[in-house]
Amino acid sequence: MCETYTTPTPPTTDSDAMNNILQFSYQPVNAIFSLIPSKFTRISTHLECNTTCAVSFYTSGLVTLYKNWQTIVVDLDIGPEPWNLTVSQVFTGAVLLTFYIQQTGTQFGLYVSGDQHAVFSHGHVWAAILIAPVPQTYSNCPGNCYNCYNGMCYSCPAGLYLNGTACVATCPGGTFFSEADRKCVTECTSGTVKASATTCLPKCDTPGKYFIPGEGCVGDCIPGCIVCGNDQTCIQCHPTTTLNY
């Protein structure tokens, strides 16, 4: 279910949503479809995962992915060039995934894989859809936590990273900042690459390119390199070259 609004930012009330809806449509999964540039777009998808589901998406702009309206799974400035990101978290059971996309480009694709899974949306007309409130910090959440349950933190606001169950501005020694899922991790997860001694960034699908925050997959790896996290070191060389440690 894809909703596009006349405004560049999300509506905050039901009235704003009704007054500013520009386009409402159902779109296919596992395929790329067109978006209206520079308009706020909200895309909602219900998953039924009998085992586990893996999710990836292709788009550009400012992307926030919510699980069941509350927990932030991804919060990332992809930049103007679209690229594909595999979400490091896998999903089980019934899950609602909602993408908030600002500064949009012209394309979006959602890809779901897993045994015995189903993808569906409720068939309401747009006029019957109410805007769910943007998740707010619960008063009983510890510290700077964005979303929690029974006092345990599950996601953090922008600028902070989840380290265990606490939100921190700086990840402790021996761990990495993961910009894709805003966590402190002991190693770069699937779909990300080591960009520095302390940072993991999304892995680019285009060989020879690396991700620059706020710009996308526009950085050039050193000659002969097909996978890298910066312009100084190579992670995977072209088959005709050799990685020199």
Query: Which domains does the chain carry?
Result: 2-128 (2.60.120)
Contact assessment for residue 98 and residue 66, using Cβ atoms and an 8 Å cutoff? yes
Q: 146: which DSSP letter?
A: S
Please report the sign of the dihedral spanned by the C-alpha atoms of residue 88, residue 89, residue 92, residue 93.
negative
Contact assessment for residue 108 and residue 83, using Cβ atoms and an 8 Å cutoff? no
Pick 55 or 157 by higher pLDDT.
55
Q: 93: which DSSP letter?
A: E
Pick 232 or 116 by higher pLDDT.
232
Residue 68's alpha-carbon distances to 88, 133, 136, 148, 154, in angstroms, are 17, 12, 13, 13, 13
What dihedral angle (degrees, nearest 10) is formed by the CA atoms of 68, 93, 41, 31?
Answer: 170
Instruction: Label residue 231 by pLDDT band (50, 70, 90).
Output: very high
Instruction: Label residue 137 by pLDDT band (50, 70, 90).
Output: very low
**Ramachandran angles phi, psi of 14, nearest 5°:** -60, -40
Q: Specify the amino acid at residue 103.
A: Q
Q: Which residues are registered as beta bridge partners of 33? A: 108
Lowest mean pLDDT among 86-100, 133-147, 171-185: 133-147
| Mean local confidence (pLDDT), 111-123 | 69
* CA–CA distance, 143 with 153 (Å, rounded to integer): 9
Instruction: Label residue 34 by pLDDT band (50, 70, 90).
Output: confident
Token pair of 228, please?
A: 């890298």
Token pair of 156, please?
A: 């953090």
* CA–CA distance, 20 with 234 (Å, rounded to integer): 47
For residue 21, the tally of other CB atoms under 10 A from its CB is: 16
Q: Which has the closest alpha carbon to 189: 62, 21, 73?
A: 73
Pick 131 or 82 by higher pLDDT.
82
Q: Which has the closest alpha carbon to 96: 47, 133, 24, 26?
A: 47
* CA–CA distance, 206 with 92 (Å, rounded to integer): 30
Q: 63: which DSSP letter?
A: E
Task: Give the model confidence (pLDDT) of 186-211 as tens digits.
Answer: 988 777 889 998 888 888 878 999 98
